[in-house]
Structure 1
């Protein structure tokens, strides 16, 4: 990701995350990031960053002037009650959020505090789906401002309208289920027709990618741009993951196609059995590792398409042989000879279908 669109980040120094590192909290952060990816996908160009600047950060790049939206997540078991405002103040939560005004005010659009249980102060409860800090009850707002006032720029900038509180329906028990529902809704909107197994594999692949981003450990001496590249994931990358899943699961190759178009002589029964099994197993293996195979699968597809375009005489059989010579040693998932052939055949048929 190019940070030149965000002038305030050019001198930004990555800071150590001192918040809770419990596995439940980290898992819920990942689910929340997935929600934002699914919600924004159809209408925004964006990059999401994990545990960098804040728990979750969205870099919006659709408009002429790109902006940043930050999310500080506070989560707890629903049975343990509300978030006490004084406890959050004691932990300097609001002062830490004000760091964004101090350092990236020119580029930040919104600064969210997200909780999965309501905020509580004395007998008052804050449980709004979305409310500006400046619209909170006066006594609650005064306590927040008192905490923020420890910032050296608060006297000049005050309580910004960029600060927003939001209560979300998320628990240790339901966040994954909600994320899967949101992904399935996106797949329906995008008219991506894949099996439940394939959708689960896609979900797990994205979850693994974001977990890797979240877990990347950096030195405080590292350049921020270097850190951001390791901690971020773009809409373009997610689109590639979706496209790969579509290609893996597209019905473009039948056994009759193999027998008729790719074999110069009748198959022996043993060979037929191997190819029939390979047709099922290669799809299963590709669905299990879509993030690992997506780059090589795209390379195979593009190479096949290029050869079809430039070589008027090449046949399907010859193109499979050519793909074997180029890609057999590059596929980094264990596939049998027949499974690799099926992968090549599928990409050839996809390239022919797309024209």
Structure 2
């Protein structure tokens, strides 16, 4: 993450790291972050930061400049009907939100308070999807600004128009299903053709990535750049994950091509034929569990294959397959020791064949 675009962050003190200590109770934040990831993908460059500056923060970079949007997410289970405004103020929620104005006002574009139950004060309920604090009723604003006024900056800056309240209908039971459905819609919109099994595997991968970012524990003495690198996930990283998923699920070689291009001098037994046909399907399943791991191997393998093809005029597919296997087999074994991929002999061969054909086709 390039802090040169946010120089004020170089002296920023990260907030108390309480969220990471209880990440098992914060899965709804991950679902929210995943949905923002899908929503913003077609737009400008961005990086999502988990549980550091706020529950979720989004750093956006546009041709006109850079800005930050923060999200404080408050959730209750189905038994609770509302969020009492006084209770939130009693926990200094609004005073803590004002910390963003005090420390990052130059770069902050919007500061969201999000709840999954309506906000209540006396008999008034607020359930707007988007409303600036300054447009709330006077009675509600008095409670909020009284809490914010504890900040030393409040007398100078007052109630900023950057503060936004948003009610979202997410429950502890449904948020995962909602996020997964959003991902499936996204894959259709982006014309990424994968099976339902592959889509579920991709959902779990994104979930694991964001959970790892959220779970990373840091000391308040750690440098902000170190913390942000561990807590952030960028559009570029997400794009790479999508590309790896697409590549893994693209049929680069068929069984007929295996026989005609690589085994034409061999007599393949029925057992071998069955093994190759099963491996063509199972390598996708294994790759979808670890798309970034397999994606990294594919890049290294393709680079080697491309170099060999460009420098050895006499290389054949059969010999290139053997050379590639000899070079990369040990690396794959090391990966398997970590219980990742676990490719069979047939799957490993197909992995190399696939990458040879990708290079040959210029994919």
Q: TM-score range by the shorter chain?
A: over 0.9
Distance 1:67 1:311, change over 3 A: farther
Whether 1:347 aligns to 2:355 is yes
Residue 226 of structure 1 aligns to a residue whose secondary structure is helix
Q: CA deviation at 1:353?
A: 2.5
- The correspondence of residues 118-267 of structure 1 with structure 2, limited to 5 A, is 118-263=118-263, 264-267=265-268
- In 1, are the aligned partners of 2:20 and 2:216 still within 8 Å (CA)? no
- In 2, are the aligned partners of 1:244 and 1:298 still within 8 Å (CA)? no
Distance 1:353 1:81, change over 3 A: same
The match for 2:329 is 328
Using the TM superposition, name which of 9-18 and 200-209 deviates more: 9-18
Distance 1:187 1:271, change over 3 A: same
- Say what the alpha-carbon RMSD is for the aligned residues: 1.7
Deviations 1:291-320 (A, max 9, x none): 333322332233334433444433222222
Q: Tell me, which stretches of 5 or more residues in structure 1 are unaligned? A: none
Distance 1:110 1:309, change over 3 A: farther
Q: How many residues align?
A: 355
Using the TM superposition, name which of 55-64 and 146-155 deviates more: 55-64
Once residues 181 and 21 of structure 2 are traced to their aligned partners in structure 1, the CA distance between those partners, rounded to angstroms, is: 26
Q: CA deviation at 1:23?
A: 5.6
- In 2, are the aligned partners of 1:72 and 1:114 still within 8 Å (CA)? yes
Once residues 276 and 234 of structure 2 are traced to their aligned partners in structure 1, the CA distance between those partners, rounded to angstroms, is: 37
Deviations 1:18-53 (A, max 9, x none): 469656641000000000000000112111011010
Using the TM superposition, name which of 133-142 and 298-307 deviates more: 298-307
- In 2, are the aligned partners of 1:25 and 1:75 still within 8 Å (CA)? no
The match for 2:346 is 338
Deviations 1:80-107 (A, max 9, x none): 1100000000000011110000111111
Distance 1:310 1:159, change over 3 A: farther
Deviations 1:139-195 (A, max 9, x none): 101110110000011110111111101111211111111111111111111111000
Residue 109 of structure 1 aligns to a residue whose secondary structure is strand
Deviations 1:110-129 (A, max 9, x none): 11001111100000011000
- In 1, are the aligned partners of 2:109 and 2:162 still within 8 Å (CA)? yes
TM-score between the two structures when normalised by the length of structure 2: 0.93
Using the TM superposition, name which of 101-110 and 278-287 deviates more: 278-287
Deviations 1:46-66 (A, max 9, x none): 110110100001111233411
- In 2, are the aligned partners of 1:24 and 1:172 still within 8 Å (CA)? no
TM-score between the two structures when normalised by the length of structure 1: 0.95
The match for 1:101 is 101
Using the TM superposition, name which of 29-38 and 17-26 deviates more: 17-26
